[in-house]
Amino acid sequence: MRLDKFVLRSTQLSKPTVITCIESGEIRVNQDVITDVRYQVHENNYIEYQGKQLVPRPFRYLMFNKPVDTICSNVDGDYPSILHYLEIENKDELHIAGRLDADTTGLVLITDDGRWSFNIMRPEMQCEKTYRVTLAKALIQGTAERFTEGLLLQGESKPTLPAKLENIETESSHDAAHQVLLTISEGRYHQVKRMFFAVGNKVKQLHREKIGNLTVDIPTGAWRYLTIDEVKSLTY
């Protein structure tokens, strides 16, 4: 981890103050004064400020059930940031692991552990994400097979990784609700919407139910910390 990040995570100092502290020689790493904010430090280094050892706060891992018309960004845009829903300290240290569109609802993971979130999002790690999708029309025959084989999305040169499509429409579901479950293991830009567009359909509503084995189990707009086992189940 960079020295400035380490100091930020182990004090209540603001980012500009941390930079000033480091550059003015107030931080020692294994007894040497280090003035380069980008200097890489490791867990077993002894890092001192004002004669005391600095110990970083433990990482935090949260799930959030995203409402519609909110954005997965640390700052507000056309809609408010989802971070407004979290009443916790040092929110600026958190980031969102795998964004959803403003009109998509459901499971979002939030953390300050960059390595953990990076691995969840890397397609090579094959972390599955399951979406409940409401479509404008019924599925045309052969869609599931095309999703399994992989589709070439507009403007891209590599086909999508195999995806699993399950039709959950029942006799009793009302006529407008063409619902399916789609499980994908990558996170390309607007991927689900573009996959259905590629087969002549349109996504009307999108809700992420699951990431790996973790299912969203809290009301819309609520959040909770993940358990240690849940964090481990998503550690690649």
By C-beta, is 47 or 206 nearer to ligand URA? Answer: 206
3-class SS of residue 2: strand
Binding piece for ligand URA, criterion CB under 6 A, among 9-17, 83-91, 115-123, 188-196: 188-196
Rounded-to-integer distance, Cα 229 and Cα 18, Å: 34
Q: Residue 104, interface with ligand URA (CB under 6 A)?
A: yes
Q: Which of residues 201-230 bind ligand URA (CB under 6 A)?
A: 206
Q: Is residue 101 a contact point for ligand URA (CB under 6 A)? A: yes
Angle at 193 between CA 190 and CA 197, to 5 degrees: 125
In whole angstroms, the minimum distance from the beta carbon of 76 to ligand URA comes to 18
Segment contacting ligand URA (CB under 6 A): 76-84, 97-105, 118-126, 144-152?
A: 97-105
For the beta carbon of residue 91, count every other beta carbon within 10 angstroms.
Answer: 14
CB of 62 to ligand URA, least distance (A): 18
Q: Which of the stretches 85-93, 116-124, 138-146, 189-197 binds ligand URA when contact is defined by CB under 6 A?
A: 189-197
3-state secondary structure 161-186: CCCEEEECCCCCCCCCCEEEEEEECC
Instruction: Yes or no: say if 236 and 127 are a contact pair by the CB < 8 Å rule.
Output: yes
Q: Where are the alpha helices (DSSP H) in 76-185?
A: 114-121, 143-149
**Euclidean distance between CA atoms 61 and 119, whole angstroms:** 14
Count CA atoms within 13 Å of residue 230 on its CB side. 15
Strands 104-111 and 203-211, how do they pair? parallel
Q: Which is nearer to ligand URA, 195 or 234 (CB)?
A: 195
In the bound state with ligand URA, the residue whose beta carbon lies nearer, of 82 and 100, is 100
Min. distance of Cβ 208 from ligand URA in angstroms?
7
Q: Exactly one of 101, 103, 112, 113 is catalytic; name it.
A: 101
- Choosing from 191, 198, 199, 205, the residue that interacts with ligand URA (CB under 6 A) is 191
Of 63-92, binders to ligand URA (CB under 6 A) are: none
Tell me which residue of 90, 55, 50, 94 sits closest to 72, measured CA to CA.
94
Q: Across the strands, what pairs with 97?
A: 109
113 given a catalytic annotation: no
**Could you list the active site residues?**
101
Q: Which residues bind ligand URA (CB under 6 A)?
A: 100-101, 104, 190-193, 206
